[in-house]
Amino acid sequence: MSTLFVLNGPNLNLLGTREPAVYGHHTLADVEALCAAACAKAGFALRFHQSNHEGALLDWLHEAGRLHQQGELAGVVLNAGAYTHTSIALHDAIKGTGVPLIELHISNVFAREAFRHHSTISSVARAVVCGFGVQGYVLAIEGLARL
């Protein structure tokens, strides 16, 4: 069985309490349960992580790249949070590992502040899912299953 990583960046541990009008009332544990169900349906084993630290996300991307090269990993769903708009390091890790990656946003970033309209990782992602709430995770997993 191939593995799929779902990686979550800064402040996503606050889901359910942080700006519920924007992000909804689902918690990160709820998101993990959605992802587990979607992965089971698609035939993937799930590795689900969240960190407020950029370096942890980089380490998981590097691991994902190694596992992908060994044929053990299908891909990555990445909700990089605010690092989406600032992290050249995440861009370089995605590009350098060559791992198939879907960039994910719970909210429609293009309907929000202008600084959220730019992504440093979109150009190295296979696809971008945004604005579907936490159901976007399910859509991203289904998309990776079809690649």
Query: 79: annotated binding-site residue?
Result: yes
What is the pLDDT of the chain when averaged over all its residues?
93
- Which pLDDT score, from 0 to 100, does residue 73 have? 97
Residue 88 labelled as part of a binding site: no
Strand order in the sheet with 101-105: 45-50, 3-8, 73-79, 101-105, 127-130
Structure tokens given for 129: 């899912």
105 is catalytic: yes
- Write down the pTM of the prediction: 0.94
Cα gap 93→98, rounded to integer Å: 8
d(CA 19, CA 75): 29
Give the domains, in start order, of the chain with CATH numbers.
8-15+47-134 (3.40.50.9100)
- Given 68, 91, 105, 137, the catalytic residue: 105
pLDDT tens column, 52-111: 999 999 999 999 999 999 999 999 999 999 999 999 999 999 999 999 999 999 988 777
Q: Does 25 qualify as catalytic in the annotation?
A: no
Is position 102 annotated in a ligand binding site? no
- 23, 26, 83, 91: which is the annotated catalytic residue? 23
**Burial classification of residue 43, based on how many CB atoms lie within 10 Å of its CB (0-12 exposed, 13-18 middle, 19 or more buried):** exposed
